[in-house]
Structure 1
Amino acid sequence: MNFNLNEAIEILEQTPKTLESYLANLSQGWMTSSEGEGTWNPVEVIDHLIECEKHNFIPRLQFILEAGEGEAFPPFDRFAHLNQSEERTLGERFSEFQTLRTENIAKLKELVDSDEVLEKTGSHPALGTVKVRELVSTWAVHDLTHISQITRVLAERYRKDVGPWVEFLGVLK
C-alpha cells in the first residue's frame, strides 16, 4: 500500500491553491462550460468541494471515531450544491474553500494522531465497513478527480476547434 498521511495532506493542502491559480482569471466562457447536460462546470465543482468540506470527509471521520461500526454514518448529498441560490463571486468561493480546507486539515491532524487511528473502522451507508485510512485516501483522490474533471471540461470547450488534432489530445478521448 502507498498511503502516507503526510503525503495525503500535501494533496489536500495544495488543492485550493491549485484550483485558484488555475481558474481565478479565466473568462466567463471557461467558467460556465461543461461536458453537456447533467455535468458540472468549474464553478459547480468548486461549490461541490465546499459542500464536501462542510458535510463529508471531516464529519464522517468524526462519526467513525465516535460510533465505530455501530451505526452507518449519514449519507452525503453529492448534488446539494446544485440547489444553492446564493450568489457569490469566484473569489469568495475560493476564500471559503481555502478557509474550510485549512480548518479541516487542522482537525484531521488532531483526530488522526497515530497509525492506530488510521485502522479504525466505521460503517458507510452503501459500502459497508470502511477504514479511516481509506476515507482519507479517498479525500485526496477525490480532489485529484475534480482537478481532472475541470481540465476535461475546459478542454471539451475547444473539442471542435482543434480539428484533426483531436486524435493526439488524450484529454478529449
Structure 2
Amino acid sequence: MNFNIEEAVAILSRTPQTLASLLSGLPEGWLGCNEGEGTWDADEVVGHLIEGEKTNWIPRLAFILREGESKPFPAFDRYAHLSAGSRTTERKLEEFAELRARSLERLRALVDNEEWLEKTGAHPAFGKVKARELVSAWVVHDLTHLSQIVRTMALRYKTDVGPWVQYLGILNR
C-alpha cells in the first residue's frame, strides 16, 4: 500500500495552484477545448472540482466517520456543475482555491490520526469503502482531471503539428 496522508495532502494542496498557473489569463480558445460532445472543457472541469469540494470529498469523509456503515452516504451528482450559475474561469479558480483550503483544514481536523482512515462507510454503489480509499480517490480524481485538461488542450493543435503527430503521444491515445 502506497497511501500516506501527508503525501495525499501534498498533491491536493497543489491542485488549485497548478490549475491557476495553467489556466489563468488564457484565451477562450484554450479554455473551451473538449474531446467532443458530452465531454468537458477546462472551465467545466474547474466547475466540477468546485462541486466536489462542496458535496463530495469532505462531506462523504465526515459521513463515514460519523455514520460508519449504518447507511450509505449521499450520491454525488457529477454533473451538477453544468447547471451552476455562470462565472468567469478566473472566479472559479479563486473559488476552488478557497474551497480546497477549507477542505484541507477540515481533513486535518477530521483525521487526527491514521487509524481514522481505516474506518468504513457505505458507498451508494460500491458498498463498503474505507476512509483511506476515499481520500486516495480524491487525489487520483485531481490528477485525472489535470490530465484531462492538458490532453484536451493538446488536442486543439492535433492537426497543426503535421507529421510530428506520430511523436506526440498525448495526441495518439
SS in 2 for 1:25: coil
- Counterparts of 1:18-167 in structure 2 under 5 Å? 18-84=18-84, 86-167=85-166
The residue matched to 2:160 in structure 1 has which SS? helix
Deviations 1:5-61 (A, max 9, x none): 000001000000000000102111011111111100000000000000000000000
**Residues of 1 paired with 2:167 and 2:25: CA distance?**
27
| Aligned residue type for 1:107 | R
CA distance, structure 2, for counterparts of residue 166 and residue 74 of structure 1: 44
1:89-131 Cα offsets, whole Å, 9 max, x none, are 2221111101100000000000001111010000001111100
Cα distance in 2, alignment partners of residues 121 and 47 from structure 1: 29
* Overall identity of the aligned pairs, in %: 58
RMSD: 0.7
Structure 1: gaps of 5 or more residues? none
Secondary structure, counterpart of 1:160 in structure 2: coil
Structure 2, unaligned runs of 5 or more: none
Helix, strand or coil for the counterpart of 1:123? strand
CA distance in 1, matches of 2:23, 2:114: 36
Instruction: Give the distance between the partners of 1:8 and 1:33, measured in 2 at CA.
Output: 29
- SS at the partner of 1:70? coil
CA shift, 1:87, in A, is 2.2
Query: TM-score, normalized by length of structure 1?
Result: 0.97
Number of aligned residue pairs? 172
Amino acid at match of 1:143: D
Which deviates more, 113-122 or 87-96? 87-96
CA distance in 1, matches of 2:86, 2:2: 41
Normalised to the residue count of structure 2, the TM-score between the two structures is 0.97
Q: State the SS of the aligned residue for 1:37.
A: coil
Q: Which amino acid aligns with 1:62?
A: A
Moved over 4 A (4+): none
